[in-house]
Structures are given as structure tokens and as C-alpha cells.
Amino acid sequence: MTGTHPLILAGPAAETTRLVAYWLLAILSVAAAVGMVLARRAVHCAMLLAVVMLSLAVFYAMLGAPFLSFVQIIVYTGAVLMLFLFVLMIVGISAADSIIETIRGQRMWAALAGIAMLVLLSLVVGHAVIGPAAPNTAQFGNGNVTTLANLIFTKYLYPFEVTSALLIIAAVGAMVLAHRERTTPKPTQRELAARRIASGRPAPLPGPGTYAQHNAADMPALLPDGSHSELSVSTVLSGRAGETPRELPGATAIPVAPPETAGSLAGPASADSVARPASAGGQGAGEQ
């Protein structure tokens, strides 16, 4: 087996190695996929999906596709999954899925449909004649990238060009969807300063962990009179643990802005957001 890629195991023990690697990773990836369906938290789902994708990358290498193996790691695990995690950090603060069934018996029917689909696909695959692997040629080894490039730029040139249009459309579409039209004029520096003075707390928010026993970001700052300032903890962190945003204790030394002032302080940018007591503080910090 000369000319094979180093990723493709060659030699006398190659078959055993392949077999062991296949069964290890097959069991691992199926277990991770099942765990992904069952895990309550979305971040755990993303991590388990990463396990599946990385084992698939190894499968691609075993199947003589070193280029796709690296694309799987770099593009899928590195870019697509990280995009998922970014959006999870934005969206999924209350990430735990609800276990209440909105449609009665939905889980049971979904499981039945899954079993039916598995039976159907197994029958199809079982009836199809899936032959052994073709003899190993250079295009599954060192020549993989060259042969793929030849195919993409000759036989599949037209789909490739259409793909570029698709990517541009996707990028522009994402920008349009993420764009938010400003409905009120942008507040000037003077207006912001006036609002801040009127809010009753012109000083910036206390930093997390200031004068506290720990300087972790989720530790509330210790005020000079010994009380804790919940304002110093980011609302993202306080909501991360799955709990509802903590009510601001009225007895803190910091004069807390009344809710109506806080709403105006938050400005038009978050006018559609839920008026949380602590979110006004976060917005105020952003306007420094």
C-alpha cells in the first residue's frame, strides 16, 4: 500500500486497528447522539454533538477522505458548532428544556415514528447490495486533495459557482435578519448625561467582587457598610444558573433607580426587552 496518506493506517495490523477504532467510535458516537437527544441543557447537547462530529472526522479518515476529515474538524466542529455556542450564550440563558408535553403523547409517537423509520431504513439498506471497498488507490490517500480539486473545478464547476452565490445570499440574509431599525433618534451625549444625573446614581456600577472575599465575576461586591451589592453581578451570570433574576434588595446602600427611570435609562435599544430590575443597571454600565 504505497502512496497512502499517513492518516490511513497501513501495515499488517491495520485491519485490527480499523476494526477496534470503528467499534469504539461507533459506540461512542451513537451514545453521544442519544445523549444529545436526552440532555436537558442545550450546552451539553452542543458538547455531545462535538463528540459525534469529531468521531465522524475519524471515520472520514478511515474511509479515505483526509480532506473531508479536516474540513469536518475545522469547519463543522470549529466554526459551525462554535456559532451554535455563541448563539446559545446570547439566547439560551434559560437553556433547560421544559419537560411539559404541549402535544399529548408526543414523545410516545415520536419514539414510534423513530422505530418505524429505523426499521424502514434498515430494510432499505439491508436489501441494497453494499459491496466491499474498492481497491485503495492514490485518490483515497495522498492524491485526495488533488483529485477533489480536479473534480470540483471541472465536473462540478457549475454547482461550485452556485455555492458562492448561496454563501453571499446567506451572509446578506443573516445581516438583514440581525439588523434592527432604529425607531427613535439616537440620544446625544448631553441627553445621556442628563438621564444619568436624573437617575439618582451617576457613579458607574460597582465592579464584581470589589472588596469581596473572592474576585470571581459572580461574587457580589461588598459595599462600605458591609452589605452586598447585587448590582455588581452581571444579569447574564445571575440568570445563568437557571434561576429567575434576583430581586434587588431595597435595603442596599446604593440608591436604586426607580423602575420608570430605569426604563428610560435603558433607552430605545432595549425598549422591547422585558423590564428586569437588574437590566437597567447593565444598560447604565454600557453607557459609560
CB of 283 to other proteins, least distance (A): 15
Q: Is 229 in the site for other proteins (CB under 8 A)?
A: no
- Whether 242 and 94 have beta carbons less than 8 Å apart is answered as yes
Q: Identify residues 239-258 at the interface with other proteins (CB under 8 A).
A: none
In whole angstroms, how large is the CA radius of gyration of the chain?
A: 28
Strands (E) across the chain are located at 221-222, 228-229
Question: CA 82 from chain center: how many Å?
Answer: 5
Nearer to other proteins, 155 or 186 (CB): 155
Nearer to other proteins, 135 or 226 (CB): 135
- Whether 36 and 45 have beta carbons less than 8 Å apart is answered as yes
Q: Is 238 in the site for other proteins (CB under 8 A)?
A: no
The amino acid that residue 43 corresponds to is V
Q: Identify residues 4-33 at the interface with other proteins (CB under 8 A).
A: 15, 18-19, 22, 26, 29-30, 33
Q: Which of these ranges, 164-172, 187-195, 197-205, 222-230, lies near other proteins under the rule CB under 8 A?
A: 164-172
CB of 187 to other proteins, least distance (A): 20
The whole-angstrom separation of Cα 207 and Cα 221 is 7
Nearer to other proteins, 170 or 217 (CB): 170
Q: Is 110 in the site for other proteins (CB under 8 A)?
A: yes
- Whether 244 and 253 have beta carbons less than 8 Å apart is answered as no
Q: Is 237 in the site for other proteins (CB under 8 A)?
A: no
Total number of residues that touch other proteins (CB under 8 A): 87
Give the H/E segment covering residue 14. helix 14-38
The x, y and z cell numbers of residue 84, run together, are: 451554535
Give the H/E segment covering residue 239. helix 235-240
Q: Identify residues 62-91 at the interface with other proteins (CB under 8 A).
A: 62-65, 67-68, 71-72, 75-76, 79-80, 83-84, 87-88, 90-91
Q: Is 131 in the site for other proteins (CB under 8 A)?
A: yes
